[in-house]
């Protein structure tokens, strides 16, 4: 009897040491051909900030124990990074046509898979919003550990009727607090462009990581009439 055939020549480099950054959350995904690899962080305040490991071919293990196999497409990491970094969730379609057209087939005739290990960290900034009708109150609130940084496109009015002073007013009222309750009252935002028209207040703000001040509620300022 002859000797058994030799294993295929390796096509992958040694796997580097895999680690999780301090404060980060590990997320993983593994899928075979013609499937979807999905990564997702725990909430909208977190994003996929680093791809720890990505390999299309025949990788072994998972999580921080993932390793390159002998069949390995060299551009796997870059493709996954372009698809997923900065996203709260990401889905990568794994098809033979898609991957082989980009990388070539690293092991012809062999069923392949994609293994991903990534980490989620808190976003430095994100946006949130709140709405209210006339004489109501819009409460814009950031998650714990975040404060309002700036206005991000707030409006008050209806259609072509829009108050011009809304962004400046929101910045003055809300910067530096975690929660800002803004009354939908014309007296807060300057000259009324359409008296008697029903309006809505749409508060949109950017939240950033930071220490909150005490919550702010703006008192309604009564209009003054000249006599």
Per-position pLDDT tens, the chain of length 227: 566 665 555 567 899 999 999 999 999 999 888 788 889 998 888 999 999 999 989 999 999 999 999 998 888 898 899 889 999 988 876 665 566 666 567 888 888 889 999 999 999 999 999 999 989 999 999 999 999 999 999 999 988 888 988 999 999 999 999 999 999 998 888 888 888 888 899 999 999 999 876 544 555 455 454 44
The model carries a pTM of: 0.69
The reported pLDDT for the residue numbered 223 is 45
The reported pLDDT for the residue numbered 75 is 84
The first and second tokens of residue 204, run together, are: 């949109």
Q: Which of 107, 110, 123, 134 has the alpha carbon at shortest distance from 194?
A: 134
The reported pLDDT for the residue numbered 161 is 87
Within 13 Å of residue 65, how many CA atoms lie on the same side as its CB? Answer: 3
Which domains occur in the chain, in start order?
25-122 (2.60.120.740), 125-217 (2.60.120.740)
Beta strand segments in 78-222, E: 89-94, 113-122, 125-133, 137-141, 146-151, 155-158, 161-162, 179-183, 200-209, 216-217
């Amino acid at each position: 009897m002859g000797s058994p055939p030799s294993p295929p020549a390796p096509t992958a480099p040694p796997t580097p040491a895999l680690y999780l950054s301090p404060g980060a959350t590990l997320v993983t995904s593994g899928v075979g051909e013609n499937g979807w690899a999905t990564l997702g962080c725990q909430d909208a305040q977190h994003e996929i900030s680093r791809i720890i490991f990505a390999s299309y071919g025949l990788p072994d293990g998972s999580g921080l124990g993932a390793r390159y196999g002998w069949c390995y497409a060299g551009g796997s990491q870059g493709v996954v990074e372009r698809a997923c970094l900065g996203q709260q969730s990401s889905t990568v379609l794994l098809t033979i046509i898609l991957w082989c057209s980009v990388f070539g087939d690293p092991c012809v005739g062999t069923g392949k898979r994609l293994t991903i290990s990534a980490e989620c960290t808190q976003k430095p900034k994100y946006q949130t919003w709140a709405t209210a009708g006339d004489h109501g109150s819009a409460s814009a609130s950031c998650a714990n550990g975040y404060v309002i940084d700036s206005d991000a496109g707030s409006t008050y009015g209806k259609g072509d009727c829009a108050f011009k002073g809304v962004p400046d007013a929101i910045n003055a009222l809300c910067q530096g607090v975690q929660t800002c309750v803004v009354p939908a009252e014309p007296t807060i935002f300057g000259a009324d462009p359409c008296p008697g028209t029903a309006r809505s207040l749409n508060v949109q703000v950017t939240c950033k990581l930071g220490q909150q001040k005490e919550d702010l509620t703006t008192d309604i300022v009564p209009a003054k009439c000249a006599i």
